Amino acid sequence: MIREYSESDKPEVIKILQLNTPEYFDPSEEIEFIDFLDNKIEDYFVVLRNSKIIGAGGINYFLDENTSRISWDMIHPDYHGKGVGSELTQYRIDLSKISSKNIELIVVRTSQLTYQFYKKMGFELDEIEKDYWAKDFDLYQMKMRIKQKL
Tens-digit pLDDT profile for the chain (150 aa)? 999 999 999 999 999 999 999 999 999 999 999 999 999 999 999 999 999 999 999 999 999 999 999 999 999 999 999 999 999 999 999 999 888 788 999 999 999 999 999 999 999 999 999 999 999 999 999 999 997 655
For the chain, the three-class secondary structure string (H helix, E strand, C coil) is CEEECCHHHHHHHHHHHHHCCCCCCCCCHHHHHHHHHHHHCCEEEEEEECCEEEEEEEEEEEHHHCEEEEEEEEECHHHCCCCHHHHHHHHHHHHHHHCCCCCCEEEEEECCCCHHHHHHCCCEEEEEEEEEEECCEEEEEEEEECCCCC
Q: Which whole-number Å values give the CA distances from 81 to 19, 70, 75, in the listed order?
A: 15, 19, 10
Residue 99's pLDDT is what? 81
Examine residue 130 and state whether it is found in any structural domain, yes or no: yes
- How many alpha carbons lie under 13 Å from residue 69 in its C-beta half-sphere? 15
Q: From CA 142, how far away is CA 115, in angstroms rounded? A: 8
Write down the pLDDT at residue 147: 76
pLDDT at 100 (0 to 100)? 76
- Looking up residue 100, the CATH number of its domain turns out to be 3.40.630.30
- pLDDT (0 to 100) of residue 102: 87
- CA 119 to CA 142: how far, in whole Å? 8
The confidence score (pLDDT) of residue 56 equals 98
Q: Which long-range contacts (CB under 8 A, 24 or more apart) does 116-120 make?
A: 117/85, 117/86, 118/70, 118/89, 118/142, 120/86
Q: Is residue 43 part of a domain?
A: yes
pTM: 0.92
Whether 87 is in a domain gets the answer: yes
Q: Which pLDDT value is given to residue 149?
A: 58
Q: Report residue 97 CA to chain centroid gap.
A: 16
- Residue numbers of the domain that contains 134: 2-145
Structurally, the chain folds into a number of domains equal to 1
Residue 150 inside a domain? The answer is: no
Q: Is residue 88 part of a domain?
A: yes
